[in-house]
Amino acid sequence: MSITLPTRRDEAWRWADLDTLSAARTTPRAEIGDAADHFLDLDGPRLVFVDGAFDAARSDPRRVRVQAIAAETAHPLGMHAAGTGWSLDLDASEAETCIQIAHLGSGGESHVPATLTLGRDAVASVVESYAGSGWANRLTRIRLAEGARLMRSVRLVQSAGFVSLREEAEIGQAASLVSIFLGAGGMGSRIDGELVVTGDGGFAEMGGALLTRGEQRQECAVAVRHAALDGSSMQLWRAVAADRSAASLAARVEVARGAQKTDGEQSLRGLLLDRTATVNLKPELEIFADDVKCAHGATVGELDRAAMFYLQSRGLPEGVAKALLTRAFVADAIDRIGEEPVRAAFLADAEAWLAEALA
Amino acid sequence: MLEINNLHAEIAGNAILKGLSLTVNAGEVHAIMGPNGAGKSTLGYVLGGRPGYEVTEGSVSFDGADLLELEPHERAAAGLFLGFQYPVEIPGISNVQFLRESLNAQRKGRGEAPLSGAEFLKLARAQADALGMDHDMLKRPVNVGFSGGEKKRNEMVQMGILSPRLAILDETDSGLDIDALRTVGDGINRILRAPDKAVILITHYQRLLEYVRPDFVHVLADGRITRTGGPELALELEAQGYGALAA
Ligand SMILES: Nc1ncnc2c1ncn2[C@@H]1O[C@H](COP(=O)(O)OP(=O)(O)OP(=O)(O)O)[C@@H](O)[C@H]1O
Ligand SMILES: [Mg+2]
């Protein structure tokens, strides 16, 4: 496929690891592992995509449909995610929880679109896992009608390659979207999001934790736009960077003229495990209404030395003390996941990453 | 048990301990008193192995081994406990999780089997009961939002769980109310008053010493021990202050 990638001269892409993305496109395909490894023990629909192709034999989609979807977006990567993908359409008051999607890559590039359309007061939850290698490029479009609620938990645990995710959502009146991401693999990543609160009293949340080590680079570039009254939003991101890696968090809150009583919270924090690592933070607020409350904080630091010594003085070896403190830092973000088993699985992934990074 | 010989230590190039010597035998209680800034907490940190506290001269042996060669966690596993003057708040880590991991790390270092979650909880609850700490506080993040006195009590619960052989308790009595002082005093006696254990109490007040009777009272001033006596020295200091002593 011929794709024109953005370049780092574009302000919005200056931290992007486009070299790793390009390299991942041409890695040869190989055997793929067992998809079952990537499913949690939850009862619900299961879909497996191998190198972007739906694997019917290993899936149980139930009411999730696999079909051709157009890539209706201007996003430079998302626009290439057209073709066969998956869709969930829920009518008013319907519920479909614990949907699990495993994306397994063996090499090369794969592009999969998805749509989630929830009717009035419908409820859904989705867990997505990215494993293997190659370039996984995804576009997810979400529409939530009045009172609908969607919880998305996405973990990026590819051992290599690159994952680029583009999420676009419209959140209706009193509807709620929570999307939490964990980057705890060896791949590069770019998590792109644009959530628009279109109905009064809607809630939009996008956040997560990016853990990087070696020469790895991961980033998010997300925006929440408040276009209605009484909306609230949360963007809580944590970045942990070791070795010579870099994690970058760019998050924007936009409050349109007339979107009074908006409450937008933003918390971006970075933790450097080594002096040679980098965390870039770019918090942005663009407020055109006068009666709004937007709390925001952005900080980068190292592990608290007093806390380190306190833990060590009680008998914890340095590596264990570091892992405990770092885990607590990351848990801030993962605790936003509402479903206990999912939260536990994501925390376990973060712990496994820490055990390796601090070994 | 503990033999400190001509210890010199500095922080960021400033000499703080300037030739401190002290011998603590098993079964003894030592009190260290002294003016603010004399180096009492520094002594505790140096014995605990805090990074940034550089020993420039002298030696410390613990049970015949070179204490200064050990990493902080190895000192803990060897039986040393430091009660902090200012216990550190650690958001996101619960007391139980922290202490269970600590105890099991120590046990591992000594070649003992780890305690299960249930075994540990039983031990932790018993210690909390003995020190009058609410069980709910065991589940809370380490020291976060604890009052001054609650933090000190938590230090003692930790000490009870870890059961060290030598404790250096840095102003554990400051911030405690009258009843808590007695509870903590009883706790120290229960946990550390044994023929094979010892304790160093750093304190500004005579009160704690009424509950935990010291065998020796030392004055630490300007980085060294300037005077040593029995329990009566604490009373004398309380009556006259350090100024009179120096004169
Ligand atoms: N990080 C540091 N950098 C420079 N000087 C320090 C540092 N930490 C402590 N000091 C100095 O070391 C000296 C001894 O401090 P220490 O805390 O040991 O005193 P102390 O005897 O415990 O006093 P107090 O009774 O007030 O607790 C003080 O003068 C203090 O200012
Ligand atoms: Mg002190």
Provide, as residue numbers in chain B, all residues whose Cβ is less than 8 Å from the Cβ of A332. Answer: 92
Letter for the amino acid at B134? D
How far is it, in rounded angstroms, from Cα A321 to Cα A309?
A: 9
- The answer to whether residue A6 sits within a structural domain is no
User: Residue A23: which of A182, A133, A139 has the closest Cα?
Assistant: A133
Which residues on adjacent β-strands are paired with residue A69?
A: A83
Per-residue model confidence as pLDDT tens digits over B55-101: 999 999 999 999 999 999 999 999 999 999 999 999 999 999 999 99
Q: Do A113 and A138 contact (CB within 8 A), yes or no?
A: yes
User: Residue A288: inside a domain, yes or no?
Assistant: yes
CB contact under 8 A, A314 and B162: yes
Listing DSSP states for A60-128 in one string gives B-TT-EEEEE------TTGGG--EEEEEEEE-TT-EEEEEEEEEEEEEEEEEEEEEEEE-TT-EEEEEE
Residue A24: helix, strand or coil by DSSP?
A: helix
d(CA A240, CA A327): 10
Q: Ligand 1 centroid to B39 CA: how many Å?
A: 6
pLDDT-derived band at B244, boundaries 50, 70, 90: low
Joined tokens for residue A133: 């290698």
State the number of CA atoms in the 13 A half-sphere of B90 facing the CB: 28
At B13-36, the pLDDT tens digits run 999 999 999 999 999 999 999 999
How many angstroms from the chain centroid is the CA of residue B111? 25
Q: Identify all chain B residues contacting A327, using CB atoms and an 8 Å cutoff.
A: 92
CA–CA–CA angle A27, A140, A332 (5° rounding): 90
Please provide the distance, in angstroms rounded to a whole number, between the alpha carbons at the two ends of chain B. Answer: 34
pLDDT (0 to 100) of residue A28: 87
pTM of the model: 0.91
Phi, psi (rounded to 5 degrees) for B144 = -70, 120
ipTM of the complex: 0.95
By C-alpha distance, which of A261, A301, A265 is closest to A281?
A: A301
Query: Is A285 within 8 Å of A252 (Cβ atoms)?
Result: yes
State the 10-residue block means of pLDDT for chain A, 359 residues long.
Answer: 85 94 91 81 96 96 96 94 96 97 96 98 98 97 98 97 98 98 97 98 98 98 97 98 97 95 96 97 93 92 96 94 94 95 96 90
Say how far apart CA B183 and CA A94 lie, in whole Å.
58
* Residue A33, pLDDT score: 74
The domain tally of chain A equals 1
Q: Can you give the pLDDT at residue B167?
A: 97
Q: Which residue of B has its CA nearest to A318?
A: B73
C-alpha to C-alpha distance for A168 and B5, rounded to whole angstroms: 68
In a domain, A160, yes or no: yes
Q: Give the mean pLDDT of B221-231.
A: 93
Total domains in the fold of chain B = 1
Give the gyration radius of chain A's Cα atoms.
20
Please report whether residue A131 resides in a domain.
Answer: yes
Task: Quickly state the pLDDT bin for B245 (edges 50, 70, 90).
Answer: low
Element (H, E) at B233: helix B231-246
* Ligand 1 pocket test, candidate residues B7, B33, B41, most atoms within 8 A of CB: B41
Helix axes A305-313, B40-48, angle to 10 degrees: 70
Give which of A206, A97, A192, A193 is closest to A149, Cα–Cα: A97
Strand A95-118 relative to strand A83-90, pairing: parallel
Q: For residue B63, with 0-12 CB atoms within 10 Å meaning exposed, 13-18 middle and 19 or more buried, which class applies?
A: middle
Locate the ligand 1 atom nearest the alpha carbon of residue B45 and give its number. 18
Print the domain residue range for A114: 11-305
Atom of ligand 1 nearest to the CA of B35: 25
CATH number of the domain encompassing residue B188: 3.40.50.300
Where residue A297 falls (left for φ over 0; alpha for ψ -120 to 50; beta otherwise) is beta
**CA–CA gap between residue A160 and residue B15 (Å, rounded):** 51
- Give me the mean pLDDT over the B138-152 stretch: 93
CA of A148 to the centre of ligand 2 (A): 57
Can you spell out the DSSP letters for B83-131?
Answer: E-SSPPPEEEEEHHHHHHHHHHHHHHHTTPPPPPHHHHHHHHHHHHHHT
Residues lining ligand 1, Cβ inside 6 A: B 11-12, 14, 16, 34, 36-42, 85
Task: Give the DSSP per-residue string, A152-205.
Answer: EEEEE--SSSEEEEEEEEEE-TT-EEEEEEEE-SSSEEEEEEEEEE-STT-EEE
Interval B179-198 mean pLDDT: 91
Structure token digits, residue A295: 């709390």
pLDDT digit string (tens) for B90-99? 999 999 999 9
pLDDT confidence band for B247 (50 / 70 / 90): very low
Which residue in A has a C-alpha nearest to residue B90's C-alpha?
A307
Residue A142 CA to residue A6 CA, distance in Å, equals 24
Domain that holds residue B141: 2-245
